[in-house]
Structure 1
């Protein structure tokens, strides 16, 4: 089993109000809202956030420039301040369990290694994984010389020679956004058709177009990105490469919840389907952050987690009141 990168809390005994699966911005902010409402909450965190390779979080007021591990460290501390628990571990399975005596929902979340916990409600905030093109040398620069978001990393590569590796129609808009940041932009079509109207628009913005496929990424002697080698042997010098990745929600261990999935157009990715406040078609289960909103930055993910947490608490308050009323009328004992 992988060693925890931080001090892990013990998994609670008995049932908790909410289990949050995922310890990133969405999961921790959802847990914070719940813990501040005096809900018993346990965050299950695998310790592998999407933005781990990045040097800093950007585009999030107050926290702009803060390293991702520091944001999460503070977040875990704040959840714990209100009685929430953050447990390091990987979810092996999550599925509905037999309801309580008064008919309230129950879920069983089992972790790798055999531990398990029961929850009344579940918030899925597992994030996503980025699928890069299979070009030799590309993945090793991910989060540094190879970037995907002009708002997350664009300022840091401003005025540098930038290359855009086409992965689909979305890459056209990607190129226009990165052109805002540099006068030296090259668009590598990678065999994907680029119509004459788009070529004309690129030419008007002095965006160079290269149709010869990229064969591999080339490094400087110090290991930093130097450019790309084309299949004809030519090397095009670039200091940064922008890639619109395919984004796929992380679903490991969640099959038992039977959450509906959606494909985004143009092969951009696959996400958990959700409605208002992160509700899903599965009663008692919510989703928030990149697992359902693939383009959300840290701030938007945190906000979505807060909204989901507040909605969960509201429905739990209704369930608690229903149980108390039934008990007062001589029915099933209250929770």
Structure 2
């Protein structure tokens, strides 16, 4: 019997030690930061994320460097409720509405660096350059990258100067305004069939200016994409011109000067002359292009976010969080590979919801960890009396203070 009493006593002492350890264990701490989150980028994606966080009263700062992919275009389209407005007007209206919410701020600045900070939960220190001011440090628990893309335009005279005004890459954004007009395609040969698929319902008079890329290599790439690409182009009356372009010269501006701003779409009658190293020029009313693009900012990559195919890798099933805990990537910049305003708005809202819940899960864990735990606060006598068997039973070890 003495053996079992000793065994019971040992077990109770072990429980007592466990209780003491539990009582002394460290409660996790939330990081002390300036903001719950910082949103980097003030285009549609960033504004959408800010809106989603404002609606649940998160303390958030949006930092915007004033550079936008659709900045050069005359009007934005295919955005319900804002079809046909100027991009700057859209951002103005969004900012005006968001300024109503007193837990969020919007400032013009450029984020140059993001550093993870040590702690129980994620937090970051951001280096921020304000116009005409020294670099400032700002801290936040989470970061949303809405930094966007920029198009890599060829140095052919006339393309960059007229970008977004009769020369465009997105038929949904600008194609309807140039429907039924003589259209030019500016792209390497292997990209032409894909462009024709996109604009086939809009234009029938089409020239593909492939700028010297009609060769065995691009033909093989075109075969891989669509083995019958030659027949397809012929069916759609697409003329392939392989001459080297020297200039895309504007002959006429199609700017409507907001003739009727109430209309979602107004025809734009631009006119250009495509000049070559040899032969006669060709006139076109507009151009659909296929040029490469790249990240507008490298701040995400420097912070450790993985780039996949030139995009910030984001997990769509987990609110577009990246491989760096606490950093989200939204809009054109991420690996959704969908680049338009409605998509940008969707990703901003999705990230905002997941980010808000992630913050609250951390707060919840700290709140619950700080509550008294019965096991941790029982005194040794309480443990003894709780666990000790009744007199005469196998696990009875005697009275506590015997």
The normalised TM-score by structure 2 is 0.73
Aligned partners of 2:143 and 2:328 also within 8 Å: yes
Aligned to 1:267: none
Pair 1:234–1:278, CA change in 2 (3 A): same
Q: Partner residue of 1:86? A: 106
Q: Encode CA deviations 1:168-212: one digit per residue, 9 max, x unaligned.
A: 634321123223212211112221434583122111111111122
Which residue in 2 is equivalent to 1:333?
A: none
User: Whose Rg is larger?
Assistant: 2
2:76 maps to 57
Displacement of 1:220: 1.7
Residues 1:47 and 1:326: Cα distance change in structure 2 (over 3 Å): same
Worse overlay, 313-322 or 246-255: 246-255
Q: Is this contact kept in 1: 2:300–2:312, CA < 8 A?
A: no
- Worse overlay, 129-138 or 23-32: 129-138
Deviates more, 1:151-160 or 1:161-170: 161-170
Q: Deviations over 1:152-178 (max 9, x none)?
A: 100011111110011363432112322
CA distance in 2, matches of 1:299, 1:280: 21
Q: Note if contact 1:163-1:242 (Cα within 8 Å) is conserved in structure 2.
A: yes
How is 1:56-205 mapped onto 2 (pairs within 5 angstroms)? 56-83=75-102, 84-99=104-119, 103-112=120-129, 113-167=134-188, 169-190=190-211, 191-192=213-214, 193-194=218-219, 197-205=228-236
Distance in 1 (CA, whole Å) between partners of 2:253 and 2:38 is 45
Q: Among 299, 308, 311, which residue is 1:271 paired with?
A: 311
* Pick aligned residue for 2:274 from 216, 223, 228: 228
- SS of residue matched to 1:237: strand
Indicate if the aligned counterparts of 1:175 and 1:187 stay in contact, CA closer than 8 A: no
Q: 1:168 to 1:122 in 2, by over 3 A?
A: farther
CA distance in 2, matches of 1:26, 1:166: 28
| TM-score for the superposition, normalised by structure 1 | 0.87
1:138 CA drift (Å) = 0.9
Secondary structure of the corresponding residue to residue 99 of structure 2:
helix
2:353 maps to 310
Deviation at 1:215? 2.2
More displaced 10-residue stretch of structure 1: 151-160 or 109-118: 109-118
Unaligned regions of 5+ residues in structure 1, if any? 1-12, 264-269, 331-335
2:324 is matched with 282
Change (3 A) 1:171 1:18: farther
- Native 8 Å contact 2:193 2:232 kept in 1: no
CA RMSD of aligned residues (A): 2.0
User: Structure 2 regions of 5+ residues with no counterpart?
Assistant: 1-31, 255-269, 374-402
Question: SS in structure 2 opposite 1:324?
Answer: helix
Between the aligned partners of 2:150 and 2:189, the Cα distance in structure 1 is 18
- Indicate if the aligned counterparts of 2:315 and 2:322 stay in contact, CA closer than 8 A: yes
What residue number does 1:266 align with? none
- The answer to whether the 8 Å contact 2:52/2:349 transfers is yes
